[in-house]
Structure formats: C-alpha cells, structure tokens
A and B are shown apart, each in its own frame.
Chain A
Amino acid sequence: SYVLTQPPSVSVAPGETARITCGGDNIGRKSVNWYLQRPGQAPVLVIYYDGDRPSGIPERFSGSNSGTTATLTISRVEVGDEADYYCQVWDSSSDPPGVLGAGTKVTVL
C-alpha cells in the first residue's frame, strides 16, 4: 500500500518558519491534508486539498504539493504551534484510499 514519509521531528524558534515535509510516490498527483494534534486532544485539520485552510486556521499555515513531496509551512511560529503534525493522502482510485504519515513532532525552542 501507499507509504508517506515524514521526518520524526522538527525544531524551530519562535517567529521563525517551520517546514514539514511529506514524501510519497507521485504525491503531487494526490490530494493531501494536514492535521495537528496536541497532547491529549483530538486532531485538528489545518490544511486540506493541498493548500486550502479551514475556517479559523491562521494564514500562517500554508500547504504545497508537487512531484514527490508535499510541504506544510508554518510562518511566524508561536509556542502554541508545538504539536504532532500528520500528513494524509486520499486517492479514491487506490485500495485502501486513505493513508496517514507517521507524524512529525514540532518543537518550538
């Protein structure tokens, strides 16, 4: 089945930019979603369909997807952005259609 590769951890200073990658075979041809999960809480959708933001998600969060890598970019990082981030692919022509990455722990130094 389809495999997504995320770095286990990313560290960033407050005010800087964090980039979290998600690698997969021809991922640029698939729809990618991103979630954050804080300890003890349910996941939160931050980017869907590659680059759309749900209502209530700050413009500091953006997404891109091309070739073999999708990227979640968090600009002007805040302490509250510290969380686990998961990428997800949905491909209706595949079986199974839904796959999640293993997650990236973002630490704000």
Chain B
Amino acid sequence: EVQLVESGGGLVQPGRSLRLSCAASGFIFDEYAMHWVRQAPGKGLEWVSGISWNSGTKVYADSVKGRFSISRDNAKKSLYLQMNSLRAEDTALYYCAKEIGIVVVRGAFDVWGQGAMVTVSS
C-alpha cells in the first residue's frame, strides 16, 4: 500500500524552529518529486514547497521563502521540512504529498499523508 506518514508537529513559540518528517512506503521513493502543502484551520489549501527526485530542484512559496527548507533522504525514504522563524500565520495542518509522474515536477499530487498539525503560539 502506498502511504505517507507525517510526524514532528506540535506547539511552538513564535520565532522558534520545528522540523517535520514524512515517511514514505509502498512506492519507489527516489523516482518521485515530493511536496509540502498546508491548510490553516478552516481555510483552504496552500502549496508550501517542493523538491525534485534528486534534490536538484527546490522551490518555495513566497510566504515561507528564506524561513523554510525542504530536503529528502532517499536511502531513508523520507521527506523533511525545516521550519525556522515560525510565525502565528504558519499555524496549519501540514501535508506531505507525492507527485503523480515519475521524475517530473509538475505539481500534481496523487498521494497525501494525513497531516501533521503545527501550532505557533506563545
């Protein structure tokens, strides 16, 4: 079964850091680009960041550029999101998502995790 499981969420104070992880199984992880998408409580979806299969391409939304960093470890079949200088507006459910196409980065996500909740509050 193809599966993505996020971890690392929690309550953090403004200005602090947090690292999310996403463990993949059931597919050849190193063939696919991966992404993070978030959803603030009661709000819509927001694409956050994406990384190509070989980490050669990393892209970010304007709202997190310079503060968040995406990475992956293909040997461990894991995706990460390092979040620094967190703000209240970063409070959201963070989803890990897999590209539908092999190798390409075209932003179509066919597999999603159940999400990790990040709450930024003092």
Residues of chain A whose beta carbon lies under 8 Å from any beta carbon of chain B: 1, 31, 33, 35, 37, 42-45, 48-49, 54, 84, 86, 88-90, 92, 95-103
Interface residue SS majority, chain A? strand
Number of interchain pairs (Cβ within 8 Å) = 72
Which residue of chain A is the closest to B96 with respect to CB atoms?
A: A42
Given contact pairs A42-B114, A96-B59, a sample of 8 additional A-B residue pairs in the complex whose CB atoms are under 8 Å apart: A33-B108, A45-B100, A48-B110, A84-B44, A86-B44, A89-B107, A97-B59, A101-B44
Which residue of chain A is the closest to B57 with respect to CB atoms?
A: A92
Judge whether B106 and A100 touch: CB under 8 Å.
Answer: no
Residues of chain B whose beta carbon lies under 8 Å from any beta carbon of chain A: 35, 37, 44-47, 50, 59-62, 65, 95, 100, 105-110, 112-115
Q: Which of A42, A49, A89 contacts B95 (CB 8 A)?
A: A42
Judge whether B113 and A42 touch: CB under 8 Å.
Answer: yes
Interface residue SS majority, chain B? strand
Q: How far is the CB of A33 from chain B (nearest CB, A)?
A: 5
Could you tell me the distance between the alpha carbons of A37 and B114 in the complex, rounded to whole angstroms?
12
Judge whether A45 and B59 touch: CB under 8 Å.
Answer: no
Judge whether B45 and A43 touch: CB under 8 Å.
Answer: yes
Q: B residues within 8 A CB of A88?
A: 47, 107-108
Q: How far is the CB of B1 from chain A (nearest CB, A)?
A: 13
Contact A103 B110, CB 8 Å, known A43-B95, A96-B62, A97-B59: no
